Amino acid sequence: MTAPDVRERIVGAADRLFYARGIGQVGMDAVRDEAGVSLKAIYREFPSKEDLVLGVLEHRHEMWTSGLAAATAGVPDARDRLLAIYDHLAGWFGESDFRGCGFINAFGELGAASPRVADAVREHKRSFQAYVDRLVVEAGADRGLGPQLAILAEGAQTTAAISGDAGAASAARAAAEVLIERATPSAPVS
């Protein structure tokens, strides 16, 4: 097995365990068992548990950005691309293992104690905001719409995780439609 394969196995195992049980509840022995690699191999790739958490967050960021890109790809109307974010959330919230945003969860557990984790979470959230802002510009909407839509998406994630109700995505989408309608120029009448 190559080093990238070992790293992927470790990150995948840690991601599953951290997401299901929480970072603080998962020891490196559990990661070792789940990944099927030695502790030596884990520590060769990740010198500390914090480094492993950062590797998992990097993996989650890649999953999130590729998921959003796939959800909006091929959607011809710029307004509909904005709404596709909430459709993406609805699919995610409906997954049987949904436990909310892994970044929010990590920040809640480690943000005060780990500046590196807090920075990684903040960078991920900045990246999402920039993505939404880019879609807002493409829709020709007022730039103030971007933060509003991002907050709706973030709130939907937290609400769905705490309440167990995947309908939070639909509620956020409905609110987003109203905001988008108010912030975008009307289509020309022919």
If phi > 0 it is left, if psi is from -120 to 50 it is alpha, else beta; for residue 81 that is alpha
Please tell me the predicted confidence (pLDDT) of residue 3: 76
List of the chain residues with pLDDT < 50: 188-190
CA distance 151 to 117: 21
Please tell me the predicted confidence (pLDDT) of residue 190: 43
| Secondary structure letter of residue 23 according to DSSP | G
Taken in order of first residue, the domains within the chain and their CATH numbers are: 1-47 (1.10.10.60), 56-183 (1.10.357.10)
Please tell me the predicted confidence (pLDDT) of residue 185: 77
pTM: 0.93
CA distance 173 to 89: 9
Output b/e per residue, 46-77; b: 16+ Cβ within 10 A: beebeebbbbbbebbbeebeeebeebbeeeee
